[in-house]
Chain A
Amino acid sequence: MQRRTFLAAGIAGANVACRSRTSRWRFFTDEEARTVEALCAQIIPEDQDAGAVTAGVVSFLDRQLSGFYKPLRETYRRGIAEIDSKAIEFEGRQFAELPLRSQLNLLQRIEKDPDIRPFFNLLTDHAMQGFYGDPRHGGNRDRVSWKMLGVPYPPVRGRLRYDFTDPAKGEKPWL
């Protein structure tokens, strides 16, 4: 019990150290996250199967932008702002506040815009990684996309026939 209290205190302290206010995001502002979520909902929409939002693609992006994709932070910050400013320019409201139909129209326009298209293509690719990639990276929650495609989760075929322990490392059987 004491140990748990200590850990909780440590985590709270770390949060205070990194951010001035509590946020569920490591990189995105709440406003950015809302725009990105709306964009991802268009890229991989919900239907009879889960879409990008349910699969936690925004969490994937947020996590990778604090990890391997850290060099792309500025690209994201600028790209999100540009999409929102286009939304205001053409539809009078931020992207996430638009009706779904208007969002789609705007994205089709963005796809033809050589200035914003590269960011949208990048976001699309990253959203696909978060949706179809391994849950270990923070997306594809509960393996929703793999269930949709009918891809069995590991343990893989034949694995039970093998003993994976490495006695040289003092490992014990885990099966």
Chain B
Amino acid sequence: MALTAVNAVVIGAGAGGGIVAKQLAEAGLSVVLLERGKWYSPFDCRKDDLRNQRTSVLGNGFGPDDERNPRVTVDLVGRERILGASRPGYQNNAACVGGGTLSYGAMAWRYMEKDFRMRSTYGHVPGSTLADWPISYQDLEPYYEKAEWEIGVSGDVSPDPFHAPRRKPLPMPPLPPNREYEILHPAAKRLGLHPFDIPMLRNSIPYNGRPACMRCRWCVGFACEVDAKCGTHNTVIPKALATKNCELRTECVVQEIRTNDHGRATGVAYFDPDNHLQQQDADLVVVSCGAIESARLLLNSKSRLFPTGLGNRHDWVGRNLQGHTYTGAFGLMPEPIFDDLGPGAGIAICDYNHGNPGLAGGAMLANEFIRLPYQFVSMVPAGVPRWGKAHKDFMRTAYQRSIAIQGPTQEMPVFDSRVQADPVVKDFWGIPVARLSGGRHPHTIEISTAMAAKAEAWLREAGAIQTWQRLSGPGLSAGQHQAGTCRMGDDPATSVVNRHCQVHEIPNLFVIDASVHVSNGGFNPVLTIMAIAYYASDHLVRRWKGGGLA
């Protein structure tokens, strides 16, 4: 039995989908927003250091659950494994209203102008599908601004000479510095670098009717107990619902997007919370499930006209899966510097994002969020055993004296790093699961290794008496920063969606999340996901002429 048809069904209430739902609902479209997870409130904040989105050794804090949502991974030597959602290698992103934005670290970066023109800047990188975006930073600038002011960003990027031109400052000042910041700031200046306050989607002062951050240590990986972290769950989604044009349905798992004989999307089939199959027809379908699940859904939506899945005529759906290659360094200071002043991360430099001789890009470098005790267990330098008296001595003497600096190296996209629909393994609902395979490009490893050396030099200048690097292996990268699987482009033969996030083959089907990123910047991607969501929604609304797109 079909439910009452609506103008738009948006799949996924994360960073992208939450914004799209609100923008369409405000423009008068009737919207159904489907989310496979639950809607948590600040009162669900469990400060559980072993069960959260950052450290999931006892399970994910905000989904998906291990029992019903397996994935298949294939490593570089071809070994297959079936993984539960909290296991390393699953490449998880939270499944809940707000998606990753409920529990993220909340860094709010705009990509730089060159990040949209990587191919023009660095030329062809053999073995990589590195390309320019079809849109520029200037196209997104007003929408970055919209995200910063509507969702809420604190920080101060004005001392950073490398940031792209912007019309307005950030709406909130930065949080006061912690001890690490006070040590790292003068050290960076002495090295001739340009340190500044990380922009964060976190209230530093009361904003949008919610209070300021209380500086606790339970930040990245946790929901905010005082609701000071700004995500789509506490900004645009409530606004969308307030229009009365948007209905949010949680714990709904979409099986497939349905299409008709004219090659248009007609709606979706989904399992409701009681696991009954429902059909929701809509004039428009927007896929915002994150780079892995969006690709999986398109690939699982097969029909006579689209035998290999939607948007997949040229076999580009699921390709170019990427994330960020995090490398950096730890430093041991002569004295304790732990001040328990969260979120911990506060200072960054963009000196090494571009312009590194012989390297096609780089990374922003920042100090790391507060390391909870169990997280610190594996952060030992070479030479310190992983157990026994010596390990305990290291924990005891180093925990309060450590500083970590790391950064997300912009990756060289690899065509064979990909999402497929597994031919055998199905999830609880009988839907083929995501099958992940591939690895990092060697040049990505080269860049990230150079970034670790930069981090180490910064720590040495700051007075660290011992430093050690954290480097990356060659395995597949995706994780919470997953991107790239439904590339945006002007040429339908080498991309999945056009510059307005519209699937080339299907005029009323859109992918609006990090899947469309051509490359992923040397930054945390969420503000770009948000900006693209505003940008694509704007285009959609302008073309909407009651009952269809003009």
Contact = CB atoms under 8 A, between A and B. Distances in A.
Contacts of A64: 58
Contacts of A159: 214, 216, 225
Interface string A34-61: 0000000011110101010000000000
Interface stretch (B262-270, B395-403, B425-433): B395-403
Interface in B374-395: 374, 376-377, 386-389, 391-392, 395
A134 B217 CA distance: 14
Contacts of A164: 43, 225-226
Contact of A158 (B47, B49, B50, B214): B214
Contacts of B392: 44-45, 47, 49, 51
A154 interface: yes
A148 B396 contact: yes
Interface stretch (A6-14, A74-82, A125-133): A125-133
B395 A149 contact: yes
A45 B338 CA distance: 25
Contacts of B59: 68
Given A162-B211, A162-B226, A49 B396 contact: yes
Q: Which 3 A-B pairs have the closest CB atoms?
A: A158-B214, A156-B216, A132-B373
A169 B43 contact: yes
Interface in B347-369: none
B215 interface: yes
B341 A128 contact: no
B43 A166 contact: yes
Contacts of A173: none
A13 to B, nearest CB: 30
Query: Of residues A51, A104, A129, which shows the largest number of chain B Cβ atoms within 10 Å of its Cβ?
Result: A129
B50 A134 contact: yes
Nearest to B47: A154
Interface in B30-75: 41, 43, 47-50, 57-59
A137 interface: yes
Contact of B48 (A49, A124, A128, A136): A136
B373 A151 contact: yes
Given A150-B338, A164-B43, 17 more contacts: A47-B392, A68-B59, A104-B388, A127-B387, A132-B395, A133-B49, A134-B48, A134-B50, A150-B336, A151-B399, A154-B47, A154-B218, A158-B216, A159-B214, A159-B225, A166-B43, A169-B43
Nearest to A139: B50
Given A43-B387, A146-B373, A149-B400, A158 B43 contact: no
A94 to B, nearest CB: 20
A42 B390 CA distance: 11
A164 B388 CA distance: 41
A149 B338 CA distance: 10
Given A132-B377, A157-B342, A164-B43, A47 B389 contact: yes
B389 A149 contact: no
Contacts of B373: 132-133, 145-146, 149, 151
A42 B49 contact: no
Contacts of B396: 49, 148-149
B340 interface: yes
A149 B58 contact: no
A114 interface: no
13 contacts: A44-B387, A45-B392, A129-B58, A132-B373, A134-B47, A134-B48, A148-B396, A149-B373, A150-B336, A154-B216, A157-B340, A158-B215, A162-B226
Contacts of A172: none
A150 B225 contact: no
B218 A137 contact: no
Interface of B: 41, 43, 47-50, 57-59, 211, 214-218, 225-226, 336, 338, 340-342, 373-374, 376-377, 386-389, 391-392, 395-396, 399-400
Interface residues of A, number: 37
A150 B389 CA distance: 18
A34 B176 CA distance: 51
Contacts of B58: 64, 68, 129, 137
B50 A166 contact: no
A76 B217 CA distance: 34
Contacts of B388: 42-43, 45, 104
A157 B226 CA distance: 12
Contact of A157 (B214, B389, B399): B214
A134 B218 CA distance: 12
Nearest to B46: A136
A127 B47 CA distance: 20
A68 B51 CA distance: 11
Contacts of B389: 45, 47
Query: Of residues B50, B225, B376, B396, which shows the largest number of chain A Cβ atoms within 10 Å of its Cβ?
Result: B50
A63 to B, nearest CB: 11
Contacts of B218: 154, 156
A150 B58 CA distance: 24
Contacts of A152: 340
Contact of B377 (A128, A166, A169): A128
Contacts of B225: 156, 159, 162, 164
A38 to B, nearest CB: 13
Contacts of B41: 166
A161 interface: yes
A124 B50 CA distance: 15
A132 B386 contact: no
A51 B226 CA distance: 35
Contacts of A146: 373
A161 B387 contact: no
A132 B394 CA distance: 14
Contact of A129 (B226, B374, B387): B374
Nearest to B375: A132
Contacts of B338: 150
Contacts of B49: 133-134
Given A124-B386, A156-B216, A156-B217, A129 B50 contact: yes
Contact of A132 (B48, B226, B374): B374
Interface string A96-138: 0000000010000000000000000000110111001110110
Interface string A159-175: 10110101001000000
Contacts of B214: 156-159, 161-162
A128 B380 CA distance: 13
A5 to B, nearest CB: 35
Contacts of B399: 149-151
Contact of B374 (A45, A47, A133, A136): A133
Contacts of A158: 214-216, 226
